[in-house]
Structure 1
Amino acid sequence: MFLYPDRNANGPTIVEALGALKDEHSEGIVFYADDLSQKLVSFAEIYARVVDSAQNLLNKGLKPGERVGIVIPNPEEFVISFLGVLAVRAVPVPMYPPFSLGKLDAYIQNAAAILQKSRASLLVTDSKMQRVLWSLVDRVDSLERVIEYRDLAKPSRTENFVLPAVELDEIAFLQFTSGSTSAPKGVVITHRALLANMDAFMRAYEIGPGDKALSWLPLFHDLGLIGFVLATCWYGLPTVIIPTALFVRRPSLWMQAMHDHQATISCAPNFAFALATRRTPADVRDGLDLSRVRMLGCGAEPTHPDTIDSFLANFEACGLRPESMVSVYGLAENVLGVSYSPLREPLKVDSVDRDTYLNEGRALPSMEAESLRYVSVGFTYEGFEIQVIDEEGRPLADRLVGEVLVKGPSIAAGYFEDPLASAEAFTPAGLRTGDMGYLVGGELFLTGRKKDTIIINGRNYDPQSIEWVVQEVDGVRKGNVVAFSVLAENSESLVVVAETRSNLDEEELKKSVITKVRQEIGLSLGNIVFLEAGTLPKTSSGKLQRSRTKDAYLKSELGSEGKRTLGAQADINVLARHLAGSAYSRVKAGMRRRAGGQ
């Protein structure tokens, strides 16, 4: 049934598995370019280029265990660089590239923090990025140099070269958390944990001959990197990779590419299904055949039932089956996957009594119109275990809401050089995820993040329930709403921050939002703040940063970090400053190397 039955949690490693495909020239990864051109890079070619990269890295003095930051927007170049670092037993640190000039200052600050925290000695980037990123050498104590991808890509194969052997308990890479509720932390992913998780989800999803994966997810994020590059290379699964920016510009390309390549598997966050529904023109949609699609995973953020219903209704005529939708749950601290809803079954939505949930933390079934609705994220993989626990760590009975605890063979080895944070999350009892939910006969329903919970008048509210209501108001940008509470004179007060479309009557929009929240949630708004598009704080993977938004609100700094889109002269001035700083840092580094005789 499986493509390669010898792949399992005990090996081979990813690079070893690629080596076994060194004669596979007909299958591999199809990479889209920004101009929509496509290029097949066979598994045989990927392996050969990884070997080239590995030798070039060794020639530059890279040693096992050294951390290497990777900031490369081009997916093909990113994949070769990442695997090349992996092949020499060094530790890749995937990092997101700057998305725009508007937040370049904040980007450099965050990139420096990640490199400093990981104590990276080397940064690999492309010829354009290096003009800005050289300034990091002066900001990061451990960082010695910045090299371009083209220096790794040079043919460098020597006769009888053998890649170093990898021990399964060695660190494979550092995956920095998204930072949606706190500062990013470097999750330590070992080869053993990586193989255990990939083996679990590839078998659970019944990957076999005839399957083809397709993704536009960012490769610096765990779902895009592990789910659609590392696992597919390890399994020899044909894959199509679309640059994330290309999908953002043309959301209709996602389903169009699924049709063109007869892909069977893809995955995306909730917001992407809403985008594809709204922005796939009827004339494009009507020409699609999606009958081969057998699994569309929805994960990385809470699944909104109405979003999935609209998506399925929109593409039903294309042959897309409701049972192809799968709700998935995962987190970097467990490498990637934790649970998934059953294959070949429609998504299960649980309606629970609002008052009992808010007052008592119990999820009692209800058919009332004002009930809360939660989508099942299914059951965990074979060999794993999920519990829901209270504040003291005691397991809770079914339908009692608490924190999700995960046990299994792919729990990460902690946060890199952060013993306090590691001890808090990685406990002897299991991984405390910080996610809230409840179980029903082993089936998990997620309700929110522990740190994001809004408490007003003694009742607990999940912020996404409020945000979903607000985003339905005409004029509010869907997926760009944050709700939180702040301390008022006598109690907590509800605040909503939302991006809006331009040229709207803000006073009328405020009235509409206030009315909507009062009618559907039963809460009064203490304040509502409207922002222009592209200014709401988000993580590199597009998740809302509620704690950061709240902090900016309290400091009266909302919108001050710049836009996620390109600006005009002010942004050009920021770029010029960073270019000058990088040039200066590069000259200084060259002088130090020459003085040291290197």
Structure 2
Amino acid sequence: MSASIRHGAESFVQLLRERAIRSPDVVAYRFVGDDESADEITYAELDRRARAVAARLTAATRGRPEPALLLFAPGLDYLAGLFGCFYAGVPAVPAFPPDPTRLARTMPRLAAIIEDTGSDTVLTTSNIAPLMTEWLTTALGGRTPRVISTDVIEDDGEGPTTTVRPDLLALLQYTSGSTSLPRGVMLSHAQLMSNCVEIARGFGMHEGSAGGLWLPPYHDMGLIGGILTPLFSGIPVTLMSPVTFLRRPLSWLRMVSRYRSTITGGPNFAFDLCVRRATDADVAELDLSAVELTFTGAEPVRAETIARFVERFGPSGFRAESFYPCYGLAEATLFVTGGRPLGGWRSVSVARDALELHGTARPAEPEEPSRSLVSCGAPGPHTRLAIVDPATSEPLGDGAVGEIWIDSPSVADGYWRRPEESAATFGATTATGDGPYLRTGDLGFVLDGELFMAGRMKDLIVVNGRNYHPVDIERVCESSVTGIRRNCGAAFAIEDDAGAAERLVLVYETDPGDEEQYRAVLDGIRRTVSIELSVPPHTVVLVRPRTIPKTSSGKVQRWLARRQYLAGELEELARWQAPTRPAPVA
């Protein structure tokens, strides 16, 4: 790390105060709006606003350190609310206001978070406070929430400047809910600072670094990676709303080009989206030559996505070696493994049958069916990885697929108000007595000290004795079938009537049309999966656009799609189902 990144702060309260005193006029954050104009805030301005919010919050809660929900649209107001919670010694609960046009889809997750926290305190802005009060009163069963509009709090330069303990609970970072209902991961200031050390080291941050990100600030990658780590490292960062990015993906790259960002990144789908939307004119206008590191994670990293992005934006000055695949999860704060800055990325081609039938990663022979997997890099110096048989807890050797277990100072204290689940997830011990470890629920293997992802245990589909990872089935469909929406499908398994075997179900969004159009799409999915993966689907369902359930970070919630399928709650446009075989005649 650069010398400018080293400091003696033990919490983000102490750190922001130090930066406000030593570098008061330095721009800490810049936020780019829908029209691509920018607002900025210095360290001193953020410190003043945060202390004003903290004073109001302390008075409203009478000093009780109960969690406070942050219900802001992305922007500078969110930052004042977040650091205001830190200054008040109150656990912050980053969330996102429900979309008034899609309440049925966006309100359930927020209601689940509110119920889980047991808190009535909400920080938001005056333009949405009335709506928040109305919606939350309903969600709380008639109790009136304590809603504080932070943008109208008078900044009189006063407010608490208390130094909080490193072990004080700073965040309840709710999991994305990709495989279950959201759970509040308890993160202290010490754990946040520890992970920022790892990110700054892994990313090679230095005095000339500058971030440029669109990631959701209520999600771990956007919050810890995009907001806290830049403050920790003392580098400026330019932020953009994820809504702006999804509407106009190239606005992200224009922002990176305009502000000469050296660090940027996002999930795999973001790079695919930019490639599909970019025109030759867009590519000619961009200058991406300043980019030193482009991290990609949060979902399986695909070699073909990296190759397409490099080919498309190479003429804009983008360098292939800047790609930085990494792995992390909320339960470990964020970052777990990564490569070397500007060290390039690595992929391996492994035999598909050995991986799926025997859980072993070995190099594929010529003409042998294979899978290409991208390395997520190695753990940092203070992190231990173990690949463990999830059934026996036996540690496994290199090349063997098992559950990823983690031991690190960044591992959280557990789930909020869930002691039994916390003990099972955060207190795992191997069959040899080594531990405690965090059980991630992710499957992977290690080769030459580097981690490769193979999928999630809860998503694993087993048909005729062969293991299939939903992401591979979905990838094959999206690369071959016309008429389905990319990153808007779910593959999952259901049991047959006897409960003796699994059946493959695929649900995909498509645009409304006629029966002939639907039949062509259904046939395309069935044929593609049957031929390319040798697994015949049992059922294929086409649904309306924007109805596949997703997490706050845009990942498909396969478990919830499965639940909706079984409950008959999908907004179906068309369906194909394998004919039922007649029972044998006695």
Output the TM-score relative to the length of structure 1. 0.89
Shift of 1:100: 4.8
| Counterpart residue number, 1:586 | none
How has the CA–CA distance of structure 1 residues 559 and 125 changed in structure 2, closer, same or farther, with 3 Å as cutoff?
Answer: farther
| Counterpart residue number, 1:147 | 148
After superposition, where does 1:295-310 map in structure 2 within 5 Å?
Answer: 295-310=293-308
**AA matched with 1:500:** T
| Counterpart residue number, 2:449 | 442
1:496 to 506, 510, 521: 506
Shift of 1:511: 1.4
| Counterpart residue number, 2:32 | 32
| Counterpart residue number, 2:117 | 118
CA separation in 1, counterparts of 2:116 and 2:90?
Answer: 16
Shift of 1:97: 2.0
**AA matched with 1:404:** I
Q: Secondary structure at the match of 1:436?
A: strand
CA separation in 2, counterparts of 1:311 and 1:84?
Answer: 39
How has the CA–CA distance of structure 1 residues 144 and 97 changed in structure 2, closer, same or farther, with 3 Å as cutoff?
Answer: closer
Is the contact made by 1:353 and 1:368 (CA closer than 8 Å) also made in structure 2?
Answer: no
Note the alpha carbon deviations across 1:345-372, whole angstroms, 9 max, x for none: 2221111111111111111111545301
After superposition, where does 1:183-198 map in structure 2 within 5 Å?
Answer: 183-198=181-196
2:198 to 193, 197, 200: 200
CA separation in 2, counterparts of 1:25 and 1:185?
Answer: 39
Q: Secondary structure at the match of 2:376?
A: strand
Shift of 1:35: 2.4
Is the contact made by 1:56 and 1:151 (CA closer than 8 Å) also made in structure 2?
Answer: no
Q: Secondary structure at the match of 2:79?
A: helix
Shift of 1:139: 3.8
Shift of 1:92: 0.7
Is the contact made by 2:202 and 2:339 (CA closer than 8 Å) also made in structure 1?
Answer: no
| Counterpart residue number, 1:486 | 494
After superposition, where does 1:61-460 map in structure 2 within 5 Å?
Answer: 61-102=61-102, 104-135=103-134, 136-137=136-137, 139-140=139-140, 144-152=145-153, 154-158=154-158, 162-368=160-366, 370-390=369-389, 391-428=391-428, 429=435, 430-460=437-467
Shift of 1:106: 4.3
Shift of 1:62: 4.6
* RMSD across aligned positions (CA): 1.8
Q: Secondary structure at the match of 2:81?
A: helix
Shift of 1:455: 0.7
CA separation in 2, counterparts of 1:100 and 1:541?
Answer: 18
Shift of 1:138: 5.3
Shift of 1:61: 3.8
Q: Secondary structure at the match of 1:478?
A: coil
CA separation in 2, counterparts of 1:385 and 1:398?
Answer: 15
CA separation in 2, counterparts of 1:450 and 1:432?
Answer: 11
CA separation in 2, counterparts of 1:210 and 1:249?
Answer: 31
Is the contact made by 1:426 and 1:432 (CA closer than 8 Å) also made in structure 2?
Answer: yes
CA separation in 2, counterparts of 1:74 and 1:156?
Answer: 25
Residue 524 (structure 1) aligned with residue 536 (structure 2): yes
Q: Secondary structure at the match of 2:571?
A: coil
| Counterpart residue number, 1:587 | none
| Counterpart residue number, 1:470 | 477
Is the contact made by 1:340 and 1:377 (CA closer than 8 Å) also made in structure 2?
Answer: yes
How has the CA–CA distance of structure 1 residues 477 and 105 changed in structure 2, closer, same or farther, with 3 Å as cutoff?
Answer: closer
**AA matched with 1:512:** G
Note the alpha carbon deviations across 1:141-194, whole angstroms, 9 max, x for none: 787411212243x21323xx5512201111011000001101100000011111
CA separation in 2, counterparts of 1:484 and 1:112?
Answer: 26
- Larger deviation: 446-455 or 74-83? 74-83
CA separation in 1, counterparts of 2:41 and 2:550?
Answer: 33
Is the contact made by 1:454 and 1:460 (CA closer than 8 Å) also made in structure 2?
Answer: yes
CA separation in 1, counterparts of 2:345 and 2:271?
Answer: 15
**AA matched with 2:507:** V
How has the CA–CA distance of structure 1 residues 530 and 99 changed in structure 2, closer, same or farther, with 3 Å as cutoff?
Answer: same
Shift of 1:31: 0.8
Is the contact made by 1:43 and 1:236 (CA closer than 8 Å) also made in structure 2?
Answer: no
Is the contact made by 2:74 and 2:216 (CA closer than 8 Å) also made in structure 1?
Answer: no
CA separation in 2, counterparts of 1:28 and 1:150?
Answer: 19
**AA matched with 2:298:** A
Is the contact made by 2:338 and 2:376 (CA closer than 8 Å) also made in structure 1?
Answer: yes
CA separation in 2, counterparts of 1:260 and 1:540?
Answer: 28
CA separation in 2, counterparts of 1:497 and 1:448?
Answer: 19
Is the contact made by 2:112 and 2:182 (CA closer than 8 Å) also made in structure 1?
Answer: no
**AA matched with 1:383:** H
Q: Secondary structure at the match of 2:446?
A: strand
**AA matched with 1:34:** D
CA separation in 2, counterparts of 1:320 and 1:194?
Answer: 31
1:553 to 556, 561, 565: 565
**AA matched with 1:209:** E
| Counterpart residue number, 2:526 | 514
**AA matched with 2:537:** L
In structure 1, stretches of 5+ residues that fail to align are 561-598
Shift of 1:24: 3.1
Q: Secondary structure at the match of 1:476?
A: coil
Note the alpha carbon deviations across 1:566-590, whole angstroms, 9 max, x for none: xxxxxxxxxxxxxxxxxxxxxxxxx
Relative contact order, higher structure (CA 8 A, sep 6+): 1
Is the contact made by 1:74 and 1:243 (CA closer than 8 Å) also made in structure 2?
Answer: yes
CA separation in 1, counterparts of 2:344 and 2:100?
Answer: 39
- Larger deviation: 32-41 or 172-181? 32-41
**AA matched with 1:147:** I
Shift of 1:250: 0.7
Shift of 1:396: 0.3
After superposition, where does 1:566-585 map in structure 2 within 5 Å?
Answer: none
**AA matched with 1:181:** T
Q: Secondary structure at the match of 1:471?
A: helix
| Counterpart residue number, 1:573 | none
Q: Secondary structure at the match of 2:538?
A: strand
| Counterpart residue number, 2:582 | none
Note the alpha carbon deviations across 1:526-573, whole angstroms, 9 max, x for none: 11011121010111111110010011111111139xxxxxxxxxxxxx
How has the CA–CA distance of structure 1 residues 258 and 360 changed in structure 2, closer, same or farther, with 3 Å as cutoff?
Answer: same
CA separation in 1, counterparts of 2:335 and 2:166?
Answer: 19
2:554 to 531, 534, 542: 542
Note the alpha carbon deviations across 1:477-522, whole angstroms, 9 max, x for none: 1111111111124622111111123436111111111111122111
| Counterpart residue number, 1:578 | none
Question: Percent identity, aligned pairs only?
Answer: 32
CA separation in 1, counterparts of 2:571 and 2:344?
Answer: 40
**AA matched with 2:528:** K
The count of residues paired between Structure 1 and Structure 2 equals 554
In structure 2, stretches of 5+ residues that fail to align are 429-434, 573-586
Q: Secondary structure at the match of 2:285?
A: coil
Q: Secondary structure at the match of 2:397?
A: coil
CA separation in 2, counterparts of 1:315 and 1:157?
Answer: 47
Is the contact made by 1:43 and 1:233 (CA closer than 8 Å) also made in structure 2?
Answer: no
Q: Secondary structure at the match of 1:226?
A: helix
Is the contact made by 1:470 and 1:481 (CA closer than 8 Å) also made in structure 2?
Answer: no
**AA matched with 2:468:** Y
- Larger deviation: 492-501 or 460-469? 492-501
Is the contact made by 2:378 and 2:451 (CA closer than 8 Å) also made in structure 1?
Answer: yes
Note the alpha carbon deviations across 1:179-227, whole angstroms, 9 max, x for none: 1101100000011111111111112211111110011001000110111
Is the contact made by 1:252 and 1:281 (CA closer than 8 Å) also made in structure 2?
Answer: no
- Larger deviation: 503-512 or 286-295? 503-512
**AA matched with 1:55:** A
